[in-house]
């Protein structure tokens, strides 16, 4: 038993050493993406399982950039933007066969990427009806296909150029983690699951965990790529800087129009306001109530 434990320790150490080897390769890039040490390595029972796990990472897309292949944790640990310094990295969007970009769903953008009242909207919302088919934007491998409380049914696809695309609030998943997909493959059906205020697709693009503004690479009016290359430098993440909003979020509120909420056990105005991205004052104004008004079960309020 003791011997087995020592073996496990040895293999774990070897794994750490190989992870460091990956990091030193990354250092030779214009900037160091410095992935955070991962705590997602599964519990290793024996050497075969460890070898199989390492094979899974090695055979996953962009394995030279990512330290792990995690099919449970939705977000990969964000790389440190300060590590970019003045470097620039170019990501090719038109790699081997992956220039066949397919728009995930041909619909109207109802909420762009950008600051939105009390939270930052890290994706683009596209209007659809529940049941509409949602397609993979690029070739890749499905990393996440599961239900989450906020994203609802969500699919995350990792692509060979290091980007990851997210498809959230789906009514139905049509893929499983580990599955290879081509651009245009149906990965799920649109819906209204998770924190969603009506059927829509929430679409994100990330690089090593950091959100990218999809408008930097995609025209949502022409449903196509606007560039063959995504430039990653400090400017790419300027949206984090304090100051004026970088996008117009006027339309985000339109999703709320007409929404009627029925009061359930345990509801409070602050919780409802938080969930729907509005404020207690606005809820009171719209419904002619006060902050001190006691909500009745079954009472209908306008959001």
Helix 2-27, helix 47-58: angle, nearest 10: 20
The encoded tokens of residue 197 equal: 């205020």
Nearer to Zn ion, 33 or 214 (CB): 214
| Residue 123 binds Zn ion, judged by CB under 5 A | yes
Q: Which of 143, 159, 202, 206 binds Zn ion (CB under 5 A)?
A: 202
Provide the minimum distance between the beta carbon of 103 and Zn ion in the complex, in angstroms, as a whole number: 16
Helices (H) and strands (E) in the chain, counts: 4, 19
Determine the 3-state secondary structure of 183 from DSSP: coil
Closest residue to Zn ion in the complex (CB) = 202
- Using the minimum distance from each CB to Zn ion, give the nearer residue, 9 or 106: 106
CB closer to Zn ion, 68 vs 125: 125
Q: Taking the mean position of all CA atoms in its chain, how far away is CA 204?
A: 5
The span from the CA of 259 to the CA of 272, in Å, is 12
For tokens 């296909």, what's the residue? 145
Interaction between residue 125 and Zn ion (CB under 5 A): yes
We find the least distance from the C-beta atom of residue 191 to Zn ion, in angstroms, to be: 13
Answer for the pair 137, 183: CB distance below 8 angstroms, yes or no.
yes
Query: Counting contacts by CB under 5 A, is residue 206 touching Zn ion?
Result: no
Instruction: Give yes or no for residue 204 binding Zn ion (CB under 5 A).
Output: no
Given the rule CB under 5 A, which of 83-91, 101-109, 126-134, 200-208 is the region that contacts Zn ion? 200-208
Could you tell me the CA-to-CA distances from 225 to 103, 216, 276, 280 in Å, in that order? 9, 9, 31, 40
**Smallest gap from residue 232 Cβ to Zn ion (A):** 23
Q: Which residues bind Zn ion (CB under 5 A)?
A: 123, 125, 202
């Amino acid at each position: 038993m003791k011997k087995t434990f020592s073996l496990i320790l040895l293999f774990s150490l070897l794994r750490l050493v190989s992870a460091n080897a990956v990091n030193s390769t990354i250092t030779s890039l214009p900037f160091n993406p410095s992935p955070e040490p991962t705590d997602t390595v599964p519990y290793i029972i024996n050497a075969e399982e460890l070898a199989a796990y390492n094979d899974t990472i090695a055979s996953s897309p962009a394995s030279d950039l990512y330290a792990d292949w995690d099919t449970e944790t939705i977000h990969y640990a964000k790389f440190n933007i300060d590590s970019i310094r003045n470097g620039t990295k170019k990501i090719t969007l038109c790699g081997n066969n992956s220039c066949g970009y397919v728009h995930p769903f041909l619909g109207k953008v109802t909420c762009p990427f950008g600051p939105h009242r009390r939270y930052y909207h890290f994706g683009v919302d596209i209007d659809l009806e529940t049941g509409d088919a949602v397609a993979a934007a690029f070739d890749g491998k499905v990393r996440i296909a599961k239900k989450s409380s906020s994203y609802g049914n969500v699919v995350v696809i990792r692509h060979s150029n290091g980007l990851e695309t997210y498809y959230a609030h789906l009514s139905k998943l049509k893929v499983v983690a580990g599955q290879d997909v081509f651009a245009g493959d149906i990965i799920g059906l649109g819906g209204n699951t998770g924190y969603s205020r009506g059927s829509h697709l929430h679409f994100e693009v990330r690089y090593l965990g950091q959100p990218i503004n999809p408008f930097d690479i995609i025209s949502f009016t022409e449903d196509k790529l606007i560039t063959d290359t995504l430039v990653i430098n400090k400017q790419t993440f300027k949206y984090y800087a304090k100051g004026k909003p970088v996008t117009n979020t006027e339309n985000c509120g339109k999703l709320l129009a007409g929404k009627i909420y029925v009061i359930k056990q345990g509801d409070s105005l602050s919780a409802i306001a938080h969930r729907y991205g509005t404020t207690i004052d606005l809820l009171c104004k719209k419904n002619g109530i006060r902050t001190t008004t006691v909500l009745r079960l079954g009472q209908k309020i306008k959001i």
